[in-house]
Amino acid sequence: MAGRCIQPLYEMMQQAVSRGVFCAGVLQVDSHGRTVHLSAHGRTSLWPGAGSVRPDTCFDLASLTKPLATTTVVLQLLRRGALGLEQRVGRWLPRAACAQATIAQLLEHSSGLPAWRPFFYEVASWPAAWTHGGPAAVRRLAARQRPERPPGQRALYSDVGFILLEWIIERASGQRLDRLFRRLVNRHLPGAGLFFPLTPGQRRRHRFAATELCPWRGRVLCGQVHDDNAYVMGGVSGHAGLFGTSGAVAALAGAWLDAFRGRRSWLPTEMVRRFWQRAPQPGSSRTLGWDKPSGENSQAGRLLGAATVGHTGFTGTSLWLDPERQLVIVLLTNRVHPDRGNQAISRFRPRLHDLIAKVVDR
């Protein structure tokens, strides 16, 4: 299904579906605040009876939760004086093994914490823990993780750091991340296209693209968070859990871009510019909560501008913003359906982004 359509982009997305890169995908490209391309491709799952993907199909955004939800909420708390970038983790979590790291170092992935740990194995082995206290159990396990190197020394992408960051947000505000997100972020956006789908009612109101046939949950996941650690936390975490449509992702990204360029926005310009500065660690592609193209092999391709920022998600999602071109690129797919072994998107995404840059530059 195509709305506003640039034919070469539509054809490339169609080819990706036919070649099995993903079975469901939506591509939205906004230029100078206007949607110049919006197309939906494939079906919501590979199983019989699955519906066609539409522009309003919701996808599991995976690690896009980090910049869109967690980082945006942190920025809003900073402007209200509830948090400080140079505050140490120990101020909020005195017993955390990474107590000497700062909020900024958690955001830019330089805390020294490990990339990932399978906390869900331990929590899921005791059903009562994740039925009634999953968030607390995972948080305790995350807080025990010892940094693998001193904070601030180098960048190491860390889900663990963002799990702790969500806990700090709750300590600083007295509210859970999903509720803060609704109050501080979502109310500024049109519709309700970004959300944590926590209830059956929420899931019935939306059309979802399926993700993985989960071996330990024993079902195809659809409208339920794919990330295992986020799942045992009840679906709300700082590193994963957010779902959304391409239009909602683009709207929030557009607010960041407008603020960066000094235009009218509900986000503060100087803070956004600070958040998009590259982290000081040698070789890091990170900023505060965001990523930047990492060279020749970047998922952003080779042609987007030097000021570009964005992020990718494990389920097959990505967002890139090029301030020089005033460009927002949202690619939402379910490449992990029916299993995560499909890595073809890592070759597809850079080619798609390069084609978009060429088309926009004409």
The tens digit of pLDDT for each residue in 180-199 reads 999 999 999 988 799 998 77
Nearest to 246 by CA among 75, 90, 119, 59: 59
Whether residues 226 and 273 share a domain: the answer is: yes
**Residue 129's pLDDT is what?**
56
Q: Are residues 18 and 158 in the same domain?
A: no
Which ranges in 194-317 belong to alpha helices (H)?
A: 200-204, 228-232, 246-260, 269-275
Look up the CATH number of the domain holding residue 209. 3.40.710.10
Determine the pLDDT at residue 132: 58
Q: Which two tokens stand for residue 241?
A: 């859990």
My answer on whether 249 and 321 are in the same domain is yes
* 281-312 pLDDT tens trace: 999 999 999 999 998 889 999 999 999 999 99
Last residue of a domain, one of 181, 208, 235: 181
pTM: 0.96
The torsion angles phi and psi of 107, rounded to 5 degrees, stand at -65, -40
Is 162 in the same domain as 201? Answer: no
Which pLDDT value is given to residue 360? 93
Which residue ranges of the chain lie beneath pLDDT 70? Answer: 1-3, 126-132
The confidence score (pLDDT) of residue 296 equals 81
Task: Return the pLDDT at 271.
Answer: 98
Domain boundary residue, one of 146, 181, 216: 181
Compute the mean pLDDT over every residue in the chain, rounded to the nearest whole number: 95
Secondary structure in 3-state letters for 288-315: CCCECCCCCCCCCCCCCCCCCEEEEECC
The answer to the question of residue 343 being in a domain is: yes
276/108 Cα distance (integer angstroms):
10
Q: Give the structural domain span for 177.
A: 68-181
Q: Is 188 inside a domain boundary?
A: no
Q: Phi and psi at residue 170, in whole multiples of 5°?
A: -65, -40
Q: Are residues 90 and 53 in the same domain?
A: no
Specify the number of domains making up the chain. Answer: 2
Q: Give the pLDDT confidence score for residue 321 in this predicted structure.
A: 99
